[in-house]
Amino acid sequence: MNIVIMDGSAANPGDLDWKPLEDIGNVTAYDITPESMIIERALEADAVITNKTPFTEKILDSLPRLRYIGVLATGFNVVDLNACKKRGIIVTNVPEYGTYATAQMTIALLLELADKVGLHDRSVKNGDWVRSEQFCYWLEPLTELYGKKIAIIGTGKIGTRVDVIAEALGMTVLKVPHRITRPGEEYSLEDAVSEADVITLHCPLTEQTRDLINSRSISLCKDNVLIINAARGPIVNEEDMAQALRSGKVAGYACDVVSVEPMKADNPLLNAPNTVITPHIAWAPRETRMRLIRAAADNLNGFMQGKTGKDINQVN
């Protein structure tokens, strides 16, 4: 089997190996594949592994040999699923590999908004503590999270893990599933955001969740609310968020994702006040990426054995 990894440098910038996939077939790995070279590089592939390299119907028309696309991520919107189904191409993803790391990043972002660790570290290293007349000082108000209410929007694996950690911090959790499966047992979005001191997003990006946090939903929030997004950038309307930060309605916004990645120079959040922005690294711990590669190999190995459906995380 010929296996082509289209954009492997994100998951493996050189600190890991591709042995789990090499045990299955002949692997050719590219760090990044520009769109103009997708067909050329995938032409002889029986299986491709992609993270963000797109596979559209037009591209698939030129790849008659291709039988399998493994998405090296949870999200699979880079692949035209209908076009693959028509051509008998199996598409798989890797769900849940980043549960612990993403929950950890969520809490890291929350603590940064609450305790301003980075701000004060920079201040100390600039000599401010050395020059201080008092034994301590703080440059901005700090927040104790104990007793605060946190609305968790999306109660899948990651949201559930954040729930556990938030409760350990002494917070009251308001759960809002992105799909209501037990009507009446969970908070509605409107009720939760109106009560919450902190809002954290853990729902997938769908047409229903796009711009979920916008000027209207923000208007329902308490003044000085803290909002965290370690899910998908477009769940938050960035123009509306920037305006809410400038007005002071939102006291802080921390995100690991933005609407277009890499971030564009004209993104309204880039110059908005009271933000913490990290470059989509919640999934980046070495342990997490090792789990991702192993799971992708397990999916492909299962496909080779004739497995389909949930057994190989098939999404089409």
d(CA 271, CA 122): 19
What's phi and psi for 158, nearest 5 deg? -70, -45
d(CA 67, CA 47): 6
286-313 per-position pLDDT tens digit:
999 999 999 999 999 999 999 999 999 9
Give the per-residue pLDDT at 181: 45
Give the per-residue pLDDT at 186: 67
Residue pair 247/220 in contact (Cβ under 8 Å)? The answer is: no
Cα-to-chain-centroid distance, residue 38 = 25
Tell me where in the chain the CATH 3.40.50.720 domain(s) lie.
Answer: 2-97+285-312, 99-277
Active site members: 232, 261, 280
Give the per-residue pLDDT at 310: 95
Burial of 82 (C-beta count, 10 Å sphere; 0-12/13-18/19+): exposed
Q: Which CATH number fits domain 2-97+285-312: 1.20.1530.20, 3.10.180.10, 3.40.50.720, 3.40.50.300?
A: 3.40.50.720
112-152 per-position pLDDT tens digit:
999 999 999 999 999 999 999 999 999 999 999 999 999 99
Fold (CATH) for 99-277: Rossmann fold (3.40.50)
Strands 2-5 and 26-29: parallel
